[in-house]
Amino acid sequence: MPRPKRKAAVPTRSSDADSSARPEPKKPRGNQFNRIDQLFESYVNKTLGLIDPEGIEALCNDVNVNHTDVRMLIFAWKMKAEKQGYFSKDEWRRGLKCLGADTRPKLKKAIEGLDKELKVPECFEDFYSYAFQYCLTEEKQRSVDIETICELLNIVLKSEFPNQVNLLVEYLKVQNDYRALNMDQWRSFYRFFKEVDFHDLENYDSSQAWTVIIDNFVEWLKEKEKN
Amino acid sequence: MVLHKFGEKLYSGLVATMTGHLKEIAKSVEAAQGAEFYRVESQKFIECCDCGDYLKKAERRLNEEIDRVSHYLDPRTEKKITNVVEKEMIENHMLRLIHMENSGLVHMFSDDKYDDLGRMYNLFRRVPDGLSKIREVMTEHIKETGKQLVNDPERLKDPVEFVQRLLDEKDKYDKIINFAFNNDKSFQNALNSSFEYFINLNPRSPEFISLFVDDKLRKGLKGVSEDDVEVTLDKVMMLFRYLQEKDVFEKYYKQHLAKRLLSGKTVSDDAERSLIVKLKTECGYQFTSKLEGMFTDMKTSQDTMQGFYASHPELVDGPTLTVQVLTTGSWPTQSSVTCNLPAEMSALCEKFRSYYLGTHTGRRLSWQTNMGTADLKATFGKGQKHELNVSTYQMCVLMLFNNADRLSYKEIEQATEIPASDLKRCLQSLALVKGRNVLRKEPMSKDVGEDDAFFVNDKFSSKLYKVKIGTVVAQKESEPEKQETRQRVEEDRKPQIEAAIVRIMKSRKQLDHNNLIAEVTKQLQSRFLANPTEVKKRIESLIERDFLERDENDRKLYRDPDVVSLKTRFGSNLESIDDGEYEFVEFICENMVSLGASNLQSIVGDSNILPFYLEQGIANTIGCLQREGCLLRGEHNLLGEAFLVMASVAGIQQQQEVLAWLLEPLSQEWTHSEWQDKYLSEPYGLVYLFSEAQVMWSSFHSVTFFDKALNRSGIKKANWNPENSSTPDSTPINPILIKYFVLSGSCSYFPATSHYTLSLVSICTSNFTWRDPSCNDHE
C-alpha cells in the first residue's frame, strides 16, 4: 500500500451510513466487542479518535506484514476504509468482525491469510475498484498519477497476470498521452487482461468499447512484437 | 361415326401439336445455329475490330435479328433470338470490350465519345450486370484521375486552377451521363460518390474551394450577368456538398470573407449574400449566423462614421478616417498587435475612440492595425505625384520618411513597433517589387536584413496615378498557419462532439458503443466527419465528468446517469456555502448546454441564495451561448426559465435583476439603430419582421418567455412602471416593446398563418397597458 500522506487536520468521521447491501452486522457479544475495541484503542491516536499512519505502522509490525503488502490493502478493503492511512472505529469493527479476529494473534493469522480472499472473481473486481478508490486522497480527485498506478498494478494484479502487468507498466512509463488515469481506465485494465489473449492480438478490435489507452497499448504491443 | 368425329379432333389436335412441336424444334435449331453463328462471328470481330466498331457491328446484328423476327417469325420468338445475340455478342465479351486497349471504356471517357458510350450503354443494359460493369469501371476511373489530380503538386500550386479543374471534370461527366447514359440515376450517384471520395483525399480542398470562391467574388464575376453568377455559385455549392470537413471550409470562408469586406474588394454584395443564403439552406442558420453578423457590422460602421463626422465637423478638412467596428464573436479571431500610428492618425483615432465609447458604454475597442488600409498622396523627387493605396503598416513606415531621408531597419522597427516578420514583409513589398518600389534599399539584396537602410525612391515612376501596394489579399496559407487553423478546428470540434453525445444519451437513456458512435457521426456529418477515436476520447472525458456511465456488467453499454446521482454529487457542496456554491455555479456555467434545462432545475431546485455576481455569470453565459448560436431553438428559453426558477427562490429583488440580465441581449438588439430602422421606422417594417420566420420564432419565444416569467414573479402588471423599476437597464426595452406590438395590432397585412402574431399582440396588450407618452401618435 503506498505510503499515505500525512494530513494536518482530519475531519472526524461520524458514523457512516453503510450504503452497501450488506446489512448492519449483529451487535457482537459483549466480550468480543470489548476485545475488538480494546485492540482499536491500542493503536488509536487519542486526539483524533482514529488510527493514523503511525498506528498502522505499529499494527504492521505486530502482524509482521509490510505496510506495502497487498494484504494490508485487502484489510483496508474488508474494512471499507474511506481514507487512506486512517481507520475509524466503525471501520475497524467491521473489518475485524469480517475476519473473525478479536485478539492480536488471531488478527495476525487472519491478515497473513488475506490473499486467499481474492480467489472469488466477484470479490476481486470489487477489491480491484476499491484499490483505485483508495488512492484518491484529495477532495474531488478523479484520477491517479501514472506512477501510483504502476505501483498499484504491481501490487494488485501481478500475481495473476505477471507478464501482462510487466508489459503494461512498461508501456505506461513510456507513453505521453496520459499523466493520470481515471477509474474507468483502471477498470478497463483488469477486464482487458481477463478477456484478451496477448498472443492473439490480431483479433483485437479497436472499434470496440475499449478505452483509448488500451487501444494505444495494443498498438504499442504490436509494434514491439514486430521488432 | 363417333370414331370419325373423334378422329377429326384427334387429327386436328395432332396437327396442332405437331406444328407446335415443329415450330419449337425450328426455333431451337434456329437458336442453336444462331448461337453458333454469332459465337463465331463475334470472335472474328473482336479479334479485328476496336471497341467502337465492334459495338456498331453488334448493334447492327441485333437490329437485323429484330427486323427478321418481325417479318418472318412469330413475334414471341424475338426475345429468345435477341437473347442469343446479346449473350454471344455482348455478354461473353463484355470485359474484353471494356478493357480493350486504346479503344475501351476508359478511352471513350477520355475522348468524350458520346456515340460509342451511348451505344455501349444501350447494348449492355440488355444483359445482366452489363450496366453495373460500366458503372464500376467509370467509378474506378474517376477516382483514379481524381486522385492524381488532387495529389499533383503542380496543380496544387494554384488553388483557383485546381478547383476549376474539379469543376471541369464534373461538367465532363455530367455531359456523358446526360448524352450517353440517359441521365441514369445510378450513374449520377456513382459520380457523386467518386467525387466525394477523391475530393476529401486532399485535406486542403476546403481551403482551396474557399479561395476559388474568393477569387470569383473578388474579380472573377465582374461584369457577369446575374444568372451566370448564380450558375457559378451553384457549382461551388455542389463541390461544397462533397466536402466532409465543412467546418474547415467555414473557417477559411470566414477569413476570406473578412478580408474581402474589409478591403472593400467584393464584386457584388448581392452575390455575397446569395452565396450565404445557399450555405444557410444547406447547413442551417448556425452555419451562417456569424457571417451575417459580419455584414451587419459593416453596415453599422457606416452609420457610426456618419455620426462621427456629423458630430466633429472641424475634422472634415483633415485626413479622412474610416473605421470598421467589428464585433469580436463574428469575425475571425486575430491577436492584437503593436503598431505606432503616425501622430496625425493616432490623434484622429483617439477622437473616434472617445466618440464611440461615449455612445456605447461598457465596450472595449482595440485597433487591428494588421488589417487596415490607407490611401496616401505622395510627391516624389522629380515632382511626380501619385496616390498610393497601402496597408496600415506600410503607411506607418512611409510616413516616417516625412521627417527623415534615410532610415535604417532598426530605426523603422523602433519607431513603428511592428512585429519583425510583418515588418520585413512590409518593407519587401515597398522596396523590392518592380513597379511598386516607392522605397529604395541599400544594399540591393533580395531579402530584408537587419542592417539595411531605406530611402525614398525619387526615381519611382508608374504609368498609373493610383498605385496599389497593399498586401491584404487572401492567399494560400503557409505551413505554420495551416497547422494553426487545423488545430483550432480540432479544438472547436471537441465540444460539438460532446454536446452531440450528451444529447443522444439524454434521449436514448442507454445505448451501446457502436450505435452511439454511429449516431454521433450521423448528427455531426453536416459539419464534419467525426473520427471514431476522437469520439471515444470524448466519451471517456464525459465518463470522467459524470455525464455518462458505463454499465457495470457490459462494458460496451453506456448509460445516461441518473440526475439524482448528479444531485448527490453536489448536494454536500451546497451545504458549505462559499466554496461549494462557487464551484457548483462554475460547473453549471461550464456545462449549461450539456446539462439541459430540466436537470438544471432539478439540481438547483432547493438551493440557497446565490450571490448576485454568480447569477450574472450564469445570465452572461446564457447570453453568450445564444449569440454564438450554440443553443437549439427553444433551449435558450428553457435555460432562462430554469435560471429564473433558481432565482425565484431568492426573492423578488433578485428575480427582477435576473430578468433584467436576461433581457439585456434582447434590449441591445432591439435598440440597435439598424434593427429599428429596419422594422420600426414605418408600418411595413413590421411586415418584413414577421415574414422572416427565424426572427418570428425567436420573437415569439422571447415574448412568451417573459410573459410566463412576469406571471410567475407575480409582478403586478398595473404597477410595473419604468420609473419605479429597480432595474434601470430594462427601461429602454419597454417603449420599444409597446411600439412594436401596438403597431402590429394596427397592421392588417399579415398572412393568415401568423397566429403567433395574434398571440403576441394579445400577450402584449394585456401586459403593457400603461402608457408611454412617445407612443401616443401610434395608438
Q: Where are the domains of chain B?
A: 51-260+271-280, 295-369, 372-476, 480-575
A209–B512: do the CB atoms touch at under 8 Å? yes
Residue B69 banded pLDDT, cuts 50, 70, 90: confident
How far apart are the CA of A210 and the nearest CA of chain B, in angstroms?
Answer: 8
- Residue A4 confidence (pLDDT) above 50: no
- The amino acid sitting at B404 is A
A184–B540: do the CB atoms touch at under 8 Å? yes
Reference B338, options B256, B415, B448, B400; nearest CA is B415
Mean pLDDT calculated for residue range A128-157: 89
- Residue B546 confidence (pLDDT) above 80: no
Closest residue in B to A182 (Cα–Cα): B544
- Residue B665 confidence (pLDDT) above 90: no
Q: Which three cell numbers stand for residue B58?
A: 453488334
Q: Which three cell numbers stand for residue B256?
A: 476570406
How far apart are the CA of B503 and the nearest CA of chain A, in angstroms?
Answer: 19
Kindly list the residues from chain B whose CB atom is less than 8 angstroms away from the CB atom of residue A211.
536, 540
State how far the Cα of B105 lies from the Cα of B127, in Å rounded to an integer.
17
Q: Which CATH number fits domain A30-119: 1.10.238.10, 3.40.50.620, 3.30.70.2700, 3.40.140.10?
A: 1.10.238.10
Substitution target from B550, B556, B582 for chain A, most A beta carbons within 10 A: B550
Mean pLDDT calculated for residue range A155-183: 90
Closest residue in A to B542 (Cα–Cα): A184
Please provide the DSSP assignment of B397-418 as one string: HHHHTTS-SEEEHHHHHHHH--
- Write down the pLDDT at residue B469: 86
Cβ proximity of B243 and B200 under 8 Å = yes
Check for a shared fold between A30-119 and A121-226.
Answer: yes
Q: Which three cell numbers stand for residue B219?
A: 474579380
Please provide the DSSP assignment of B641-689 as one string: HHHHHHHHTT-HHHHHHHHHHHHHHHHHHHH-HHHHHHHHSSHHHHHHH
Three-state SS at B53? helix
How far apart are the CA of B630 and the nearest CA of chain A, in angstroms?
Answer: 28
B540–A212: do the CB atoms touch at under 8 Å? yes
First to last CA, chain B: 113
Kindly list the residues from chain A whose CB atom is less than 8 angstroms away from the CB atom of residue B536.
211-212, 215
Query: How far from B183 is each of B26, B122, B127, B179, CA to CA, in Å?
Result: 41, 13, 19, 7
State how far the Cα of B362 lies from the Cα of B701, in Å rounded to an integer.
28
Interface of B with A (CB under 8 A): 512-514, 517, 532-533, 536-537, 540, 543-544, 550, 555-556
- Write down the pLDDT at residue B269: 84
- Write down the pLDDT at residue B200: 93
Query: How far from B734 is each of B216, B260, B685, B725, CA to CA, in Å?
Result: 46, 39, 19, 11
Query: How far from B753 is each of B189, B195, B759, B765, CA to CA, in Å?
Result: 39, 42, 12, 20
State how far the Cα of A149 lies from the Cα of B452, in Å rounded to an integer.
59
Tell me the pairing of strands A143-145 and A180-182: antiparallel
How far apart are the CA of B439 and the nearest CA of chain A, in angstroms?
Answer: 52
Tell me the pairing of strands B406-408 and B549-550: unpaired
Question: What are the backbone angles phi and psi of residue A154, rounded to the nearest 5°?
Answer: -60, -45
- Write down the pLDDT at residue B731: 35
How far apart are the CA of A209 and the nearest CA of chain B, in angstroms?
Answer: 5
A207–B532: do the CB atoms touch at under 8 Å? yes
Q: Which CATH number fits domain A121-226: 1.10.238.200, 3.40.50.300, 3.40.1190.20, 1.20.1440.230?
A: 1.10.238.200
B514–A215: do the CB atoms touch at under 8 Å? no
Cβ proximity of B703 and B763 under 8 Å = yes
Residue in B514, B533, B550 closest to A212 by CB: B533
Closest residue in B to A143 (Cα–Cα): B544
Cβ proximity of B647 and B619 under 8 Å = no
For chain B, the average pLDDT equals 75
Q: Which CATH number fits domain B51-260+271-280: 3.40.50.2300, 3.40.50.300, 1.20.120.160, 1.20.1310.10?
A: 1.20.1310.10
B532–A209: do the CB atoms touch at under 8 Å? no
State how far the Cα of B492 lies from the Cα of B612, in Å rounded to an integer.
31
When comparing pLDDT for B84 and B272, which is higher?
B272
Q: Which residues contact B182 (CB under 8 A, 6 or more apart)?
A: B121
Q: Which residue has cell 501482462?
A: A164
- Residue A122 confidence (pLDDT) above 70: yes
Question: What are the backbone angles phi and psi of residue A6, rounded to the nearest 5°?
Answer: -80, 140
C-alpha torsion angle, residues B765, B771, B774, B777 (rounded to 10):
70
Task: Please list, residue by residue across A30-46, b when 16 or more beta carbons sit within 10 angstroms of its beta carbon and e when fewer do.
Answer: eebeebbbebbeebbee
Please provide the DSSP assignment of A162-199 as one string: HHHHHHHHHHHHH--S-SEEEHHHHHHHHHHHHH--GG
Reported as a single tens digit per residue, the pLDDT across B315-342 is: 888 888 889 988 877 788 777 778 888 8
- Residue B343 confidence (pLDDT) above 80: yes
A–B interface: beta-carbon pairs under 8 A: 34
State how far the Cα of B508 lies from the Cα of B510, in Å rounded to an integer.
5
- Write down the pLDDT at residue B290: 73
Query: How far from B57 is each of B31, B61, B117, CA to CA, in Å?
Result: 19, 6, 14
Cis amide bond preceding A11, omega within 30? no
Cβ proximity of B561 and B549 under 8 Å = yes
How far apart are the CA of B583 and the nearest CA of chain A, in angstroms?
Answer: 11
Reference B392, options B415, B366, B418; nearest CA is B418
When comparing pLDDT for A214 and A7, which is higher?
A214
B556–A208: do the CB atoms touch at under 8 Å? yes
Residue B549 bridge partners (DSSP): B559
Residue in A184, A207, A208 closest to B543 by CB: A184
Helix, strand, coil percentages in chain B from 3-state DSSP, rounded to 5:
70, 5, 25
Q: Which residue has cell 470489548?
A: A34
Residue in B517, B537, B544 closest to A212 by CB: B537
Question: What are the backbone angles phi and psi of residue B550, rounded to the nearest 5°?
Answer: -95, 140
Reported as a single tens digit per residue, the pLDDT across B362-386 is: 778 888 888 888 889 998 888 888 9
Percent of chain A residues past pLDDT 90, beyond the cut: 19
Question: What are the backbone angles phi and psi of residue A45, rounded to the nearest 5°?
Answer: -90, 115
Kindly list the residues from chain A whose CB atom is less than 8 angstroms away from the CB atom of residue B515.
none
How far apart are the CA of B609 and the nearest CA of chain A, in angstroms?
Answer: 24
Lowest pLDDT segment from A29-38, B336-345, B605-614, B640-649: B605-614
Kindly list the residues from chain A whose CB atom is less than 8 angstroms away from the CB atom of residue B512.
209
Q: Which three cell numbers stand for residue B421?
A: 516578420
First to last CA, chain A: 36
Closest residue in A to B541 (Cα–Cα): A182
Cβ proximity of B373 and B406 under 8 Å = no
Residue B248 banded pLDDT, cuts 50, 70, 90: very high
- Residue B779 confidence (pLDDT) above 80: no
- Residue A181 confidence (pLDDT) above 80: yes
B513–A209: do the CB atoms touch at under 8 Å? yes
Reference B539, options B557, B553, B527; nearest CA is B557
Closest residue in A to B536 (Cα–Cα): A212
- Residue B761 confidence (pLDDT) above 50: no
Cα four-point dihedral sign B435, B440, B442, B448: negative
Sheet architecture: strand order including B373-379: B373-379, B385-391, B466-468
Closest residue in B to A141 (Cα–Cα): B544
Substitution target from A182, A193, A214 for chain B, most B beta carbons within 10 A: A182
Lowest pLDDT segment from A83-92, B113-122, B520-529, B619-628: B619-628
State how far the Cα of A163 lies from the Cα of A166, in Å rounded to an integer.
5
Reference B444, options B460, B468, B463, B428; nearest CA is B428
- Residue B620 confidence (pLDDT) above 80: no
- Write down the pLDDT at residue B210: 94
- Residue B520 confidence (pLDDT) above 90: yes
Mean pLDDT calculated for residue range A69-75: 88
Percent of chain B residues past pLDDT 90, beyond the cut: 16
Cα four-point dihedral sign B478, B481, B487, B490: negative
User: Which run of H or E residues covers position B439?
Assistant: strand B439-442
Substitution target from A14, A122, A184 for chain B, most B beta carbons within 10 A: A184
- Residue A217 confidence (pLDDT) above 80: yes
State how far the Cα of B472 lies from the Cα of B576, in Å rounded to an integer.
56
CATH T-level topology, domain B480-575: Arc Repressor Mutant, subunit A (1.10.10)
Q: Which three cell numbers stand for residue A76?
A: 483496508
How far apart are the CA of B499 and the nearest CA of chain A, in angstroms?
Answer: 20
Cβ proximity of B539 and B547 under 8 Å = no
- The amino acid sitting at B79 is K
- Residue B545 confidence (pLDDT) above 80: no
B540–A142: do the CB atoms touch at under 8 Å? no
State how far the Cα of B413 lies from the Cα of B571, in Å rounded to an integer.
59
- Write down the pLDDT at residue B357: 87
Residue B466 bridge partners (DSSP): B387
- The amino acid sitting at B423 is L
Length of chain A: 227
Q: What is the DSSP letter of B342?
A: -
Mean pLDDT calculated for residue range B690-717: 59
Residue A149 banded pLDDT, cuts 50, 70, 90: very high
Mean pLDDT calculated for residue range B20-30: 68
B556–A182: do the CB atoms touch at under 8 Å? no
Kindly list the residues from chain A whose CB atom is less than 8 angstroms away from the CB atom of residue B550.
184, 187, 209
- Residue A22 confidence (pLDDT) above 50: no
- Residue B657 confidence (pLDDT) above 70: no
B532–A191: do the CB atoms touch at under 8 Å? no
A209–B537: do the CB atoms touch at under 8 Å? no
How far apart are the CA of A108 and the nearest CA of chain B, in angstroms?
Answer: 35
State how far the Cα of B134 lies from the Cα of B111, in Å rounded to an integer.
16
Query: How far from B298 is each of B303, B482, B680, CA to CA, in Å?
Result: 9, 27, 21
Query: How far from A109 is each of A37, A64, B325, CA to CA, in Å?
Result: 18, 10, 80
Closest residue in B to A180 (Cα–Cα): B544
Kindly list the residues from chain B whose CB atom is less than 8 angstroms away from the CB atom of residue A185.
540
Question: What are the backbone angles phi and psi of residue A138, rounded to the nearest 5°?
Answer: -85, 155
- Residue B395 confidence (pLDDT) above 70: yes
State how far the Cα of B449 lies from the Cα of B409, in Å rounded to an integer.
8
A185–B540: do the CB atoms touch at under 8 Å? yes
Cβ proximity of A107 and A63 under 8 Å = yes
B544–A142: do the CB atoms touch at under 8 Å? yes
Task: Please list, residue by residue across B454-489, b when 16 or more beta carbons sit within 10 angstroms of its beta carbon and e when fewer do.
Answer: bebbeebeeeeeebebbbbebeebeeeeeeebbeeb
- Residue B778 confidence (pLDDT) above 60: no
- Write down the pLDDT at residue B92: 82
Substitution target from B544, B556, B569 for chain A, most A beta carbons within 10 A: B544
Reported as a single tens digit per residue, the pLDDT across A27-68 is: 555 666 788 888 888 888 888 888 888 888 998 888 888 888
Residue B649 banded pLDDT, cuts 50, 70, 90: low
Kindly list the residues from chain B whose CB atom is less than 8 angstroms away from the CB atom of residue A191.
555
How far apart are the CA of A61 and the nearest CA of chain B, in angstroms?
Answer: 38
Closest residue in A to B583 (Cα–Cα): A140
Mean pLDDT calculated for residue range B523-548: 87
Highest mean pLDDT among B74-88, B177-191, B256-270: B177-191
Residue B249 banded pLDDT, cuts 50, 70, 90: very high
- Write down the pLDDT at residue A186: 94
Length of chain B: 779
Q: Which CATH number fits domain B372-476: 3.30.230.130, 1.20.59.20, 3.40.50.970, 3.30.70.580?
A: 3.30.230.130
State how far the Cα of B544 lies from the Cα of B1, in Å rounded to an integer.
104
A207–B543: do the CB atoms touch at under 8 Å? no
Reported as a single tens digit per residue, the pLDDT across B558-593 is: 887 654 444 444 443 333 333 334 445 555 555 555
Cβ proximity of B243 and B283 under 8 Å = no
State how far the Cα of B69 lies from the Cα of B81, in Å rounded to an integer.
8
- The amino acid sitting at B310 is A
Kindly list the residues from chain A whose CB atom is less than 8 angstroms away from the CB atom of residue B532.
207
Q: Which three cell numbers stand for residue B693?
A: 420566420
Q: Could you tell me the residue ranges of all domains in chain A?
A: 30-119, 121-226
Lowest pLDDT segment from B346-360, B459-473, B656-670: B656-670
CB count in 10 Å sphere of residue B706: 22
Interface of A with B (CB under 8 A): 142-143, 182, 184-185, 187-188, 191, 206-209, 211-212, 215
